[in-house]
């Protein structure tokens, strides 16, 4: 397990926020958002953060690099419901060798509903591991 980031529950501790609205198709028969639906939320927030940091993911991919997901951890604290407006707060963790980690806080009206961490490595188009781009450790992506 490479997970080494403990995502805080205070939105003020995060460097970026992307807001989504849950879809009806993401609910389940318990009347809440199904737990598997959170992973695409995290991914959508990563994509928007990459764009914000000056490295849109389609450009990264066109350059021959994909960011494979190596690990994912989600802690579900309070259910999300249909039509909830969810702030996905995002922070970049420490780069370690060939991997980097991102922490997330999903909040509705400032209340923590879930926290999560994803661990990523760079791969080429065939899935083979490659070095992380240098900008991953730079200030626009990794923060101050």
When the beta carbons of 111 and 144 are compared against its own copies, the nearer one is 111
Residue among 17, 52, 60, 73 that touches its own copies (CB under 8 A): 73
Convert 105-142 to b/e letters by CB count within 10 Å (16 or more is b).
bbbbeeebbbbbbbbbbbbeeeeeeeebeeebeeeebb
Does residue number 130 form part of the binding site for its own copies (CB under 8 A)?
no
Q: Residues near 125 by Cβ (< 8 Å), separated by ≥ 6?
A: 64, 66
Could you give the string, one character per residue 27-66, with x where binding to its own copies holds by CB under 8 A and - elsewhere? Answer: xxxxxx-xxx--xx--xx--x--------xxx--x----x
Does residue number 108 form part of the binding site for its own copies (CB under 8 A)?
no
Does residue number 83 form part of the binding site for its own copies (CB under 8 A)?
yes
Shortest Cβ 111–its own copies spacing (Å): 15
**Strands 85-92 vs 99-108: parallel, antiparallel or unpaired:** antiparallel
User: How many residues of this chain interact with its own copies, rule: CB under 8 A?
Assistant: 39
């Amino acid at each position: 397990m490479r997970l080494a980031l403990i995502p805080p529950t205070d939105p003020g501790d995060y460097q970026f926020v992307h807001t989504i609205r849950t879809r009806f198709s993401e609910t389940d028969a318990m009347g809440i958002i199904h737990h598997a639906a959170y992973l695409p939320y995290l991914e959508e927030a990563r994509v928007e953060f990459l764009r914000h940091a000056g490295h849109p993911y389609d450009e990264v991919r066109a350059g021959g690099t994909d960011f494979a997901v190596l690990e994912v951890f989600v802690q579900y604290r309070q259910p999300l419901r249909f039509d909830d407006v969810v702030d996905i707060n995002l922070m970049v963790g420490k780069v370690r060798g060939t991997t980097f980690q991102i922490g997330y806080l999903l909040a509705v009206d400032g209340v923590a509903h879930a926290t999560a961490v994803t661990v990523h490595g760079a791969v080429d188009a065939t899935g083979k591991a490659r070095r992380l781009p240098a900008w991953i450790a730079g200030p626009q992506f990794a923060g101050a």
